[in-house]
Chains A and B, each alone.
Chain A
Amino acid sequence: DTGVSQDPRHKITKRGQNVTFRCDPISEHNRLYWYRQTLGQGPEFLTYFQNEAQLEKSRLLSDRFSAERPKGSFSTLEIQRTEQGDSAMYLCASSLWASGSGNEQFFGPGTRLTVL
């Protein structure tokens, strides 16, 4: 199966440490999205890429967060100096955007981050 994959699935870290997550989208998909989901809530948009270009960042994405998609394939999301409030599920999604709109996004299994 060539769905969206994320690594690691779980990450426990101490406050103040840096963490990095990886997302591998569906191979032919040119768009990649990052979302964050906290307990009892729906996912919230963080940022997205079209190929290697990061086109929009949410106000939720503080300067401690950085995302890259260097070759337009996989993406990484790094959180520096983690805080307990960063504890959440980080979801990656990909879609094939052509000339149309409203393309469905396919989600990965997520990375659950716990900051102690």
Chain B
Amino acid sequence: AQKVTQAQTEISVVEKEDVTLDCVYETRDTTYYLFWYKQPPSGELVFLIRRNSFDEQNEISGRYSWNFQKSTSSFNFTITASQVVDSAVYFCALSEADFGNEKLTFGTGTRLTIIP
């Protein structure tokens, strides 16, 4: 069975600090996809990134970067120079696509608070 673990329940950092959110996953499939979603106080989940299991290249998008390491089954998310608007709950999710159902298995989320 697939599982996603986000061990950090809550993180608080001062604005402009860098912060890394950890994500560890378990799956028996060789083909899978990893996602990060942001859930601001309004409640709507916002898609941030998708990564497939065959692509271990790190990705950077503005202040956001992602580090995917299959050897440790981790897909960590770093925010550089954090801003107050980054305050939200962040979810890591896994999708196994072998049988067509691309249902997402989510972790329990990390609540990030950026202190002005």
A residues with a Cβ closer than 8 A to B are 31, 33, 35, 40-45, 48, 55-56, 89, 91, 93, 95, 97, 101-110, 112
Contact = CB atoms under 8 A, between A and B. Distances in A.
A40 B111 CA distance: 9
A1 B35 CA distance: 24
Given A41-B108, A42-B108, A109-B44, A56 B102 contact: no
B50 A56 contact: no
Given A33-B103, A55-B100, 15 more contacts: A42-B107, A43-B106, A45-B104, A45-B105, A91-B45, A95-B102, A101-B52, A102-B97, A102-B102, A104-B47, A105-B102, A108-B44, A109-B42, A109-B44, A110-B43
Band of interface residues on B? 20 to 34
A101 B43 contact: no
A102 B43 contact: no
A105 B47 contact: yes
Contacts of B31: 101
Given A41-B108, A42-B107, A42-B108, A103 B45 contact: no
A57 to B, nearest CB: 11
Nearest to A107: B45
A43 B103 CA distance: 11
Nearest to B47: A104
Contacts of B105: 45
Given A102-B33, A102-B52, A55 B102 contact: no
Contact of B101 (A41, A55, A93, A112): A55
